[in-house]
Amino acid sequence: MINALTRTVLKGTLSKLLKEKWQLAMWLVIPMMMAALFSLMSGSDGNAKPSGILLITDNDDSFLSQMFVRTFSQGPLDDMFTLKKVKKDEGQTIMSAGDASVWLTIEKGFTQNFVDNKPTTLRLVKNPSQNILPKIAETMVTALADSGHYIQLLFSKELKQFDNLITGKDISDTQMAVMSVQIKHTVDLLEKQLFPPQIQAKKKVKTDESKKTESKHSFMYMMFPGILFMSLLFSAQGMAQDFWKDKSQGILSRLLSSPTGLKHYFTGKLLSAIIIFTLIAVLLSFLGVWMFNINNQKLLIIIPWVVLSGIAIWSFLLFFTLKLPTKKSANLVTEGMVFPLMMLGGSFFPFDSMPKAMVAIGEKLPNGYLLQSFNSWFIKEQALWVLLTPALMALGFILVFFFVNQKTTQQFARNK
Amino acid sequence: MIEIKNLSKTFGTFEAVKDISFTASTGQIFGLLGPNGAGKSTTINCISGLVNATSGSVSINNFNIATQAVKAKQSLGIVPQELALYDDLSAHENLSFWGSAYGLSGKTLENRIQEVLLDVGLESRQKEPVKQFSGGMKRRLNFACAILHKPSALLLDEPTVGVDPQSREHLLQATIKLKEAGTAVIYTTHYMEEAERLCDQLLIMDKGQVIAAGTVEALRQQMGERDLITLKGRYQEGANMQLLEDIGAQVLELSHQEVRILIPEASKCLTQVLKSVAQIGKVHQVNIQQANLESLFIKLTGRALRDAA
């Protein structure tokens, strides 16, 4: 049976919170927004992939020039560059507007000069406002030019005979066979220099099964528990501040003069925190189901775990809130605590992408410890019992802080 | 009944309350009178258990506030000097909150809420959020929150500070009603007229000490059948007042701008008084009034209440 005051405090706190819809929304939206931004910044697999437009003006329009251009649409470069063929004037306009990363111009006679072992020009115009993509394009063009130079050195004779092929004319089967044999002879001659005996190194990689499973999840999935905990930290800090609001309105000191008012007030606040954390857990879990197709049965673990963690975090932050001498200092300090707790506790970045020293600290923080334990089950897919010890630890933590904070509230109410 | 014995409270080296003893009986309004900083609020805080007394004891209906806090607080109501209300909740919600803090619930609580709203004249505004209330209405609601559980002992700490005349009247009437119902009330104020109108017993405090105590009548008698003359003007400080004393006046105060004297039948000897005062300065304004508690405070401390505040 819940005491009448506890019930009133519970009702009052929830009703006040529902009136402050923006605050509630922020507790949910900010973590999701931050996760989405991190995800966008890092790419879905956690690695950054810049992309841009590569303008091509191919004045030669030959087999070799086309082959050269196709290099930029192969492999990883394909993700980075969107190729766009342009005339000189159009290219000039686009580059002047800064709408492309690089502009490559292949001069007329490029192939013929290459075959004739004559100098040829590739003109690369880089967008000065960009850094990464123009450098990648420049490196690529330089590498291709070097390769072309070595081909000219080694196969100049054969290239002469390729002339027809390169310039788009038909060549006979006999010509093709002769060229092939000549190239083979040259390669055979250079084989010892080109392909020295290799030392065959056997590389045995010890695979960690738990890490293997991580890779199958998307970055957002791995961030999901962090988002939940980020939301818990924001809401716990906000709810702890409620004590100061009530104190400044004279509620707590007046409750102190009632028979058992402060005790029931504290219980009411605890119950409202449990309800708010449940609400957050349910809303975000269903978002998880929708986004990551999380198994419904997992919700039976996720929701209680989030609530348990929320209460532990609330108790922790409340302790500091009650100990600080003014409303302003309590707000500043606890707000200042929330961001390092998020950062070190794995809410901004998954623990696996954090430096070891940071992980060592983060794991010792209440939110970090509980998040790391949760990840063992949720991401690394370890057996459910891995949560048993952390759950008992969290319960113990909550119990200790319940008595400490209840007692501290008395002193807090007394202080002017 | 509220019984205070040898109560002292020290904050560091500062003695806020020094060895005070008094009893507020059932159906009686006991006034604590004194300027700001006299120790009235500290005394109230010690009685309500907000502050632990350094020495002495406080009992409410024979329950010691320090050792039997829950029982003592059950029959105690307090109207703190500072408002203790949720601004964003309605008057009804606030009353519901405070009623439940004293164990009321359900229909009993609802009935009491309607009764006290009627007592303080807020029944038509009960659904409105408190933030829309005037200062006086908030004070009335603050008062109502303290009497929901029908306390047999009530502490009122300057309940009429900064309120409009209408609200003040509501509060004073409600206090009288409680007294008539048998509540023991301790009423702190620095408004003399309120104290004179309401209180059966008075205790005048200054600098943490009791400087006078008794019924209003007994305290008035300490002044004798004398009038208080206040002469505003420009005077030489420290001037010889022998002339005034020679005509039977008691000089309470002589400052650069004001002379206050007590004298029997002031209207008859006003000419003599003015002649005497003219020797030490120039009179601009004269005010004659019957001696009151303020005169007593001046007599005992040498300062006016407002100056002390």
Say if the Cβ atoms of A261 and B101 lie within 8 Å: yes
Q: How confident is the model at residue A214 (pLDDT cuts 50, 70, 90)?
A: very low
Q: Hey, what are A405's tokens?
A: 């904070």
- Cα–Cα distance, B288 to B259 (Å, whole number): 12
Q: Is B71 exposed, middle or buried (0-12, 13-18, 19+ CB in 10 A)?
A: middle
Q: Hey, what are A208's tokens?
A: 């960690």
- Cα–Cα distance, A229 to A351 (Å, whole number): 13
pLDDT of residue B78: 93
DSSP assignment of A96-164 equals: HHT--SEEEEEPTTHHHHHHTT----EEEEE-TT--HHHHHHHHHHHHHHHHHHHHHHHHHHHHHHHHH
* Residues A64 and A114: beta-carbon distance below 8 Å: yes
pLDDT of residue A399: 96
The beta-carbon neighbor of B104 closest among A4, A15, A249 is A4
Query: Which of A258, A260, A410 to mutate against chain B (most B CBs within 10 Å)?
Result: A258
Q: How far is A252 from chain B (nearest CA, A)?
A: 8
Say if the Cβ atoms of B102 and A258 lie within 8 Å: yes
Residues in Cβ contact with A30 at an 8 Å cutoff, skipping those fewer than 6 apart: A230, A231, A234
The beta-carbon neighbor of A8 closest among B70, B83, B100 is B100
Q: Hey, what are B309's tokens?
A: 């505040």
pLDDT of residue B167: 86
Say if the Cβ atoms of B85 and A255 lie within 8 Å: no
Identity of residue A182: Q
* Residues A213 and A381: beta-carbon distance below 8 Å: yes
| CA-based radius of gyration for chain A | 33
Average pLDDT in chain A: 83
Length of chain A as a residue count = 416
- Cα–Cα distance, B10 to B16 (Å, whole number): 6
Per-residue pLDDT of chain B (309 residues; tens, 9 = 90+): 899 999 999 998 899 999 999 999 999 999 998 888 888 889 999 999 888 899 999 999 999 998 998 999 999 999 988 899 999 889 999 999 999 999 898 999 999 999 999 989 899 999 999 999 999 999 999 999 999 999 999 999 988 888 888 888 888 999 999 999 999 999 998 788 888 889 999 998 888 999 889 988 888 777 677 788 888 999 887 777 787 888 888 888 888 888 888 888 888 888 888 888 888 889 999 988 877 777 777 777 766 665 554
Say if the Cβ atoms of B97 and A5 lie within 8 Å: yes
- Cα–Cα distance, B309 to B297 (Å, whole number): 12
B11 to chain A, any CB pair closer than 8 A? The answer is: no
Look-up of token digits 């007294």: B179
pLDDT of residue A212: 46
A411 to chain B, any CB pair closer than 8 A? The answer is: no
Say if the Cβ atoms of B48 and A5 lie within 8 Å: no
The chain B residue lying nearest A245, using CA atoms, is B86
Q: Can you count the helices (H) and strands (E) in chain A?
A: 17, 4
Query: Which of A20, A257, A269, A415 to mutate against chain B (most B CBs within 10 Å)?
Result: A257
The more confident residue out of A255 and B308 is A255
A1 to chain B, any CB pair closer than 8 A? The answer is: no
Q: How far is B126 from chain A (nearest CA, A)?
A: 16
The beta-carbon neighbor of B80 closest among A3, A253, A414 is A253
Question: Is residue A163 over pLDDT 80?
Answer: no
- Measured between beta carbons, the chain A residues lying within 8 angstroms of B102 are 258-259, 261
- Cα–Cα distance, B93 to B96 (Å, whole number): 5
- Measured between beta carbons, the chain A residues lying within 8 angstroms of B89 are 12, 15-16
Identity of residue A21: K
B193 to chain A, any CB pair closer than 8 A? The answer is: no
Say if the Cβ atoms of A19 and B76 lie within 8 Å: no
- Measured between beta carbons, the chain B residues lying within 8 angstroms of A5 are 97, 100-101
CB count within 10 Å of CB A1 equals 5
Cα separation values, B76 from A215, B60, B72, B192, Å: 66, 7, 7, 25
DSSP secondary structure letter of residue A208: -
B141 to chain A, any CB pair closer than 8 A? The answer is: no
Q: Can you count the helices (H) and strands (E) in chain B?
A: 12, 14
> What residue ranges do the domains of chain B occupy?
2-220, 225-290
The beta-carbon neighbor of A5 closest among B74, B86, B101 is B101
* Residues B191 and B160: beta-carbon distance below 8 Å: yes
Q: What is the dihedral of CA B177, B179, B181, B184, to 10 degrees?
A: 150
Say if the Cβ atoms of A256 and B50 lie within 8 Å: yes
Question: Is residue A167 over pLDDT 80?
Answer: no
CB–CB contacts below 8 A, A to B: 72
Question: Is residue A206 over pLDDT 70?
Answer: no
Q: Hey, what are A167's tokens?
A: 């310039």
**Nearest Cα residue to A101 out of A46, A140, A147, A62:** A140
For chain A positions 22-61, those within 8 Å of chain B (CB to CB) are none
Give Dmax over CA atoms of chain A in angstroms: 110
Say if the Cβ atoms of B86 and A256 lie within 8 Å: no
Helices (H), B59-134: 69-74, 91-101, 106-119
- Cα–Cα distance, B62 to A306 (Å, whole number): 50
Q: How far is B89 from chain A (nearest CA, A)?
A: 8
- Cα–Cα distance, B60 to B57 (Å, whole number): 10
The beta-carbon neighbor of B89 closest among A12, A256, A264 is A12
Query: Which of B52, B97, B155 to mutate against chain A (most A CBs within 10 Å)?
Result: B97
DSSP secondary structure letter of residue B143: H
Query: pLDDT for A355-387, tens place per residue?
Result: 888 889 999 999 999 999 999 999 888 888 999
Q: What values do phi and psi take at B209, rounded to 5?
A: -115, 155
- Measured between beta carbons, the chain B residues lying within 8 angstroms of A264 are 101
CATH number of B225-290: 3.30.70.1150
- Cα–Cα distance, A350 to A369 (Å, whole number): 13
pLDDT of residue A290: 85
Say if the Cβ atoms of A251 and B73 lie within 8 Å: no
Q: Hey, what are A78's tokens?
A: 């394909």
The residue-averaged pLDDT of A389-416 equals: 93
- Cα–Cα distance, A44 to A220 (Å, whole number): 7
Under CATH, domain B2-220 is a member of which superfamily? P-loop containing nucleotide triphosphate hydrolases (3.40.50.300)
- Measured between beta carbons, the chain B residues lying within 8 angstroms of A250 are 80, 82-85
Identity of residue A92: Q
Look-up of token digits 């009122």: B156
Give Dmax over CA atoms of chain B in angstroms: 73
A414 to chain B, any CB pair closer than 8 A? The answer is: yes
pLDDT of residue A198: 54
Query: pLDDT for A14-59, tens place per residue?
Result: 888 877 778 878 888 887 787 777 766 655 554 555 678 889 998 8
Q: Hey, what are B229's tokens?
A: 């003359």
**Nearest Cα residue to B21 out of B56, B45, B51:** B56
The chain B residue lying nearest A256, using CA atoms, is B50
Q: What values do phi and psi take at B32, rounded to 5?
A: -110, 115
DSSP secondary structure letter of residue A207: P
- Measured between beta carbons, the chain B residues lying within 8 angstroms of A9 are 97
**Nearest Cα residue to B33 out of B291, B226, B288, B309:** B309
The chain B residue lying nearest A5, using CA atoms, is B100
The residue-averaged pLDDT of A217-243 equals: 89
Q: How far is B80 from chain A (nearest CA, A)?
A: 7
For chain A positions 249-268, those within 8 Å of chain B (CB to CB) are 249-251, 253-261, 264-265
Question: Is residue A213 over pLDDT 80?
Answer: no
For chain B positions 39-98, those within 8 Å of chain A (CB to CB) are 48-51, 69-71, 73-74, 76, 78, 80, 82-89, 93, 96-98
DSSP assignment of A341-356 equals: HHHHTTSSS-GGGS-H
- Cα–Cα distance, A365 to A96 (Å, whole number): 52
- Cα–Cα distance, A85 to A292 (Å, whole number): 40
- Measured between beta carbons, the chain A residues lying within 8 angstroms of B76 are 257
Say if the Cβ atoms of A250 and B49 lie within 8 Å: no
Say if the Cβ atoms of A258 and B101 lie within 8 Å: yes
